[in-house]
Every structure is written in C-alpha cells, then in structure tokens.
C-alpha cells in the first residue's frame, strides 16, 4: 500500500493523517502501511523484544538508563532535554506512588507526528513506556492524548487492551516480578495542556494551567508525587535503543543529536507529511523527500520547529542540517520538528498575524504579560496588515515581545514572542512597506 492509499483509507474512516511512506532509515515508522498496527503485526516486526530482553536477561534499571544516556536521545516534545538524564532524576527509593506520563497532547501548529505514531504504531509507545517505567521503578502510567483526536484515542485504548491480554502490561509482566498499569487519558484540546505541568493539572481533573517550577515534576508531579513526563516520540524511540544499543542509535544521527527524528513537513511543498530521517539530514534532502516547493516556486522562508520556533530565511535554512545544534546555531529551534515551508507568494505580515492569533487564543490567561501581551501582538500585526499601522508600531511590537519573553510561568509567552522578533529581524521591510508613510529611522551616530 502506498502513501496515498494509506491516506485515502484513513480519510475514509474520518481520521485525518499525514503519514507518508518516504523515509530514510526509519526506526519508528519502519514497515508501517496503515493496516498493520495490531499487536500481532507489531510482534512480527520484533515488537516487545526489547521489554522481553530486559525482563528475561535481567537488565537492571541502572543498565537501562545507562543505555538510554549513551544513545544521546533528546526529548522530542520540543526542548530536546536528554532523556536518560531526565530518567536519572527520578528518586528511585521514594517510598510512595510514582508516575510515568506520556505527553501526546500535540497542539503546536504544524506538528502531527505523535498522533500518527499512535495511529500507525501504538504498541511501540506502550513498549517504550513499559521500559521507562521499569528503569525508574514506576508502577502506574498515563498517556495523555489530545482531546480533539477521537479515533486515535480509541485506537490506543484498543492497543492497551491487546497488551494487557498478552501480559505485556499489568501484574507480573512476562512472568517477572515487574508490574506496570498503563491507562489512556483523553485531554481537552488546549495547546497549553501540552506544557507538562498544565498537563498534570488537567490529568488531575483541574483547569489546565501551568504550575510554578521548581518544584519540578520529578519531585512534585502528578498528585504531588514524583513523575516523569516524556513525549510520545521519545518513548517510541526507546525499544530500538534497547534492541540495538545506545551507541548504534547515537551513530544513526550525529554527536549530541542521536537517532532519527520525525519531521512534520507542511506548507508549500508538493507532498506534505511526516518524514522520519536521521538527525543531521540536510534540510535540502528533507525538502526533496517532501516533493520540493509546491508548483516549482521559490523557497522564501521556513519555520523549522513548530509555530513557536523563529522563522529562518531560505538561504540560511538551505545551509542547515536537521538537528538541534545546527538549527540553534542558525538562530532558531528544532522544537517539535514541525517544518513549515513558505514559498515566495507568502506574506510574512499575514503569516505572523495568523501565528499571533493562535497564541492570543491559546494563552491560558494566568500570567498578565502573556494574557495581555499576546492580544497586543495580534492587534498590532493586524493593524499593520490592514494598512492602518503607525510608524511607531515596529518599535512597539518589539517592546511588547520584550515584555512577554522570560516573564511568564511557562514558555507559552516565549513561544508567542519569539516568532515576532524573528519575523521583524529577517523580514522587517515587509512590515514597513505596509505602514503608510513609514520612514526608516536613521542609523544611530557612532
Ligand atoms: C505551551 C507549551 C506546549 C507544549 N506542548 C507540548 C506537546 O504538545 N507535546 C509535548 O511532548 N511537549 C509539549 N511541550 C513541552 C513539555 O512541557 C515537555 O517539555 C515535554 O513533554 C517533555 O518531554 P520530552 O523530554 O520527551 O521532550 C509544551 C511546552 C509548552 C511550553
């Protein structure tokens, strides 16, 4: 079955998907065709071998954590925090209940990889979580799934049932002394619920608003108990690491950027979709996999890591490789790996207006700079776009962004401010051109 057949099949069932079958060295998407997501299929692909290896060969939790550390796996939820290191923060001797949480909230515009992992390969996440829980001595876990994706939630529930029936979850897993209960939780469809502490609040049945940190979830998490939270794709990477070794995973990518990464390529490309490629793949190669810029047009700009990542002009982007370090060096972030491609027909003012509307809408309202500032950002960009902006609006935009960034409980404020600064830095002339009578300021005298 090819990608378009897969797409047609899922569209027929009402499930929107962007899975694509053009991958390089896939680890998570290997061999998937949209129909082979069940337990028997996963086992036929070597599924649950890693969990079995740990339990039957008696790998200690420390050995599992060491393997993950050596893999160079960095959290795929956005911040790229080293996963093995995060796991080592969990207080293993804590006497009470500890929790493991999978973040499948995925609300960042442009990102659609986690729902496809859950849709096409749900057992890989279950196995990854079971291994993580073993490594950290955790007996209860939750997968928090975005509230607007119903079929994916149902599918994950079905996969959980299969795993429980086969003895991969529950008490005395595979005849060992290891117990792990895993549940699915359906979220509320709010972007802020992807922020890890807002997610925990929401999971507890409260309004999804971020908590002050510290304390961090490793000491005060779900119901006030030690909790580790990782992204769906992060967990999905774990079975491969255990089966093949941390070093092999690291070598798939480049130093400090191990393994493969799934990029959700959207916007002005011929074949938008999710592509799994090794870390360090040139951006130009990824663009080629996605069919190139639509209708043969010219590449203008790219947002390389989801809507909160600063935009990069085409020439900078074409010299980047797709990994945390290269994109950071170019002045942006790999973030969640959502690559939004813009061709030369796109107005940067309009694009920023769209982004700013999103952040205004999704601000939870808890912190004044974010609640008020995101509204101001949108209003300013909107009036510039409508041709009624004032000459002072350029400075005002920067000043509003300054007053949000770094002044809020969570990073949603930064996520709203950073695109503004980058758009002005790289495409200031487009904004100025829309302001009636705009006269650029004379450069300051030395
Ligand atoms: C506003 C906001 C939204 C976020 N949304 C998500 C999300 O949808 N999925 C996710 O995994 N991480 C999201 N994060 C990052 C999480 O807070 C957290 O860092 C991540 O789940 C940790 O997993 P990782 O270490 O595997 O990346 C978000 C952060 C912020 C500030």
Q: Which residues line ligand 1 (CB under 6 A)?
A: 75-79, 81, 86, 103, 105-108, 191-192, 194-196, 229-231, 234, 410-412, 415
- CA–CA dist 186, 142 (Å, integer): 10
Q: Is the peptide bond before 239 cis (omega within 30 degrees of 0)?
A: no
Atom of ligand 1 at shortest range from CA of 111: 8
Q: How confident is the model at residue 12 (pLDDT cuts 50, 70, 90)?
A: low
Q: What residue has token string 């500890």?
A: 98
pLDDT tens-place string over residues 175-214 = 999 999 999 999 988 999 999 999 999 999 999 999 999 9
pLDDT tens-place string over residues 396-435 = 999 999 999 999 999 999 999 999 999 999 999 999 999 9
pLDDT tens-place string over residues 362-406 = 999 999 999 999 999 999 999 999 999 999 999 999 999 999 999
Q: Which DSSP category does 61 fall into? A: H
Q: Residue 16 pLDDT > 60, yes or no?
A: no
Read off the tokens for 291: 């069919």
Strands laid side by side in the 140-145 sheet: 181-186, 140-145, 99-104, 227-231
Q: How far is the CA of 383 from the centre of ligand 1 (A)?
A: 32
pLDDT tens-place string over residues 328-349 = 999 999 999 999 999 999 999 9
Q: Which DSSP category does 194 fall into? A: G
Phi, psi for 142 (deg, rounded to 5) = -135, 145
pLDDT tens-place string over residues 281-331 = 999 999 999 999 999 999 999 999 999 999 999 999 999 999 999 999 999
pLDDT tens-place string over residues 114-161 = 999 999 999 999 999 999 999 999 999 999 999 988 999 999 999 999
- Would strands 312-313 and 299-303 be described as parallel, antiparallel, or unpaired? antiparallel
- CA–CA dist 331, 422 (Å, integer): 9
**What is the per-residue pLDDT for 264?**
96
Atom of ligand 1 at shortest range from CA of 196: 17
Q: How far is the CA of 273 from the centre of ligand 1 (A)?
A: 21
Check residue 174 and give left, alpha or beta (phi > 0: left; psi -120 to 50: alpha): left
Q: Residue 10 pLDDT > 60, yes or no?
A: no
- CA–CA dist 433, 365 (Å, integer): 33
The count of residues in the chain is: 446
Q: How confident is the model at residue 438 (pLDDT cuts 50, 70, 90)?
A: confident
**What is the per-residue pLDDT for 2?**
52
Atom of ligand 1 at shortest range from CA of 81: 25
Among 290, 255, 231, 247, smallest CA distance to 80 is for 231
Q: How far is the CA of 146 from the centre of ligand 1 (A)?
A: 12
Q: How far is the CA of 195 from the centre of ligand 1 (A)?
A: 5
Read off the tokens for 29: 């998407």
Residues above pLDDT 90, as percent of the chain = 87
- CA–CA dist 281, 262 (Å, integer): 11
**What is the per-residue pLDDT for 8?**
57
Atom of ligand 1 at shortest range from CA of 76: 27
Residues above pLDDT 70, as percent of the chain = 95
Q: How confident is the model at residue 223 (pLDDT cuts 50, 70, 90)?
A: very high
Kindly report the protein residue whose alpha carbon is nearest to atom 2 of ligand 1: 195
User: Taking the alpha carbons of 371, 267, 339, 393 in that order, is the dihedral positive or negative?
Assistant: negative
Q: Which residues neighbour 30 within 8 Å (Cβ) at sequence distance 6 or greater?
A: 23, 45
Helix (H), strand (E), coil (C) string for 375-432 = HHHHHHHHHHHCCCCCCCHHHHHHHHHHHHCCCCCCCHHHHHHHHHHHHHHHHHHHHH
Instruction: Report yes or no: 108 and 191 within 8 Å, Cβ to Cβ.
Output: yes
**What is the per-residue pLDDT for 5?**
58
Q: Is the peptide bond before 79 cis (omega within 30 degrees of 0)?
A: no
- CA–CA dist 266, 211 (Å, integer): 32
Q: How far is the CA of 59 from the centre of ligand 1 (A)?
A: 29
pTM (whole model) above 0.85? yes
- CA–CA dist 66, 84 (Å, integer): 7
Kindly report the protein residue whose alpha carbon is nearest to atom 6 of ligand 1: 194
How far from 305 is each of 109, 312, 317, 333, CA to CA, in Å? 10, 11, 12, 6
How far from 351 is each of 139, 302, 423, CA to CA, in Å? 45, 11, 9
Phi, psi for 288 (deg, rounded to 5) = -65, -45
Instruction: Report yes or no: 48 and 123 within 8 Å, Cβ to Cβ.
Output: yes
- CA–CA dist 31, 161 (Å, integer): 23
| DSSP character string of 203-235 | HTTS---PPPSSSPTTTS-GGGS-EEEEEHHHH
Q: What residue has token string 């309009």?
A: 350
Kindly report the protein residue whose alpha carbon is nearest to atom 12 of ligand 1: 77
Q: How far is the CA of 112 from the centre of ligand 1 (A)?
A: 14
**What is the per-residue pLDDT for 445?**
67
* Mean pLDDT value of segment 92-110: 94
Our mutation pick for probing the ligand 1 site, out of 196, 309, 338, 366, counting the most ligand atoms within 8 A of Cβ, is 196
Mean residue pLDDT across the chain = 93
**What is the per-residue pLDDT for 440?**
74
């Amino acid at each position: 079955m090819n990608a378009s057949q897969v797409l047609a099949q899922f569209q027929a069932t009402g499930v929107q998907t962007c899975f694509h079958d053009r991958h390089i060295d896939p680890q998570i998407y290997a061999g998937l065709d949209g129909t082979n997501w069940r337990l028997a299929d996963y086992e036929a692909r070597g599924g649950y071998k890693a969990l079995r290896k740990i339990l039957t060969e008696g790998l200690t939790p420390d050995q599992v954590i060491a393997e993950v550390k050596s893999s160079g796996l960095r959290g795929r939820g956005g911040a790229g925090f080293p996963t093995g290191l995060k796991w080592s923060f969990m207080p293993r001797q804590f006497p009470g209940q500890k929790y493991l949480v999978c973040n499948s909230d995925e609300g960042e515009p442009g990102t659609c990889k986690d729902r496809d992992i859950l849709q096409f390969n749900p057992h890989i996440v279950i196995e990854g979580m079971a291994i993580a829980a073993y490594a950290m001595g955790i007996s209860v876990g939750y997968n928090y799934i975005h509230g607007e994706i119903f079929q994916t939630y149902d599918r994950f529930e079905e996969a959980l049932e299969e795993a429980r029936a086969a003895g991969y979850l529950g008490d005395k897993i595979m005849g060992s002394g290891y117990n792990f209960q895993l549940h699915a939780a359906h979220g509320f469809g709010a972007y802020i619920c992807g922020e890890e502490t807002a997610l925990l609040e929401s999971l507890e049945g409260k309004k999804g608003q971020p908590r002050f940190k510290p304390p961090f979830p490793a000491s005060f998490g779900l119901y006030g108990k030690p909790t580790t939270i990782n992204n769906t794709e992060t967990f999905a990477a774990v079975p491969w690491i255990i089966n093949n070794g941390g070093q092999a995973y690291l070598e798939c990518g480049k130093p400090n950027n191990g393994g493969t990464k799934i990029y959700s390529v959207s916007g002005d490309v011929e074949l938008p979709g999710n592509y799994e490629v090794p870390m360090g793949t040139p951006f130009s190669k990824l663009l080629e996999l996605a069919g190139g810029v639509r209708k043969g047009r010219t590449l203008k700009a790219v947002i390389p890591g989801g809507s909160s990542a600063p935009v990069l002009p085409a020439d900078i982007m074409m010299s980047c490789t797709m990994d945390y370090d290269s994109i950071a060096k170019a002045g942006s972030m790999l973030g969640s790996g959502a690559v939004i491609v813009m061709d030369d027909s796109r107005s940067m003012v309009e694009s920023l207006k769209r982004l700013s509307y999103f952040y205004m809408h999704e601000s939870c309202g808890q912190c004044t700079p974010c609640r008020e500032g995101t509204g101001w950002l949108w209003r300013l960009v909107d009036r510039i776009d409508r041709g009624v902006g004032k000459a002072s609006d350029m400075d005002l935009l920067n000043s509003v962004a300054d007053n949000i960034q770094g002044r809020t409980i969570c990073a949603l404020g930064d996520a709203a401010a950073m695109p503004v600064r980058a758009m002005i830095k790289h495409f200031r002339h487009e904004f100025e051109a829309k302001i009636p009578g705009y006269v650029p300021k004379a450069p300051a005298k030395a």
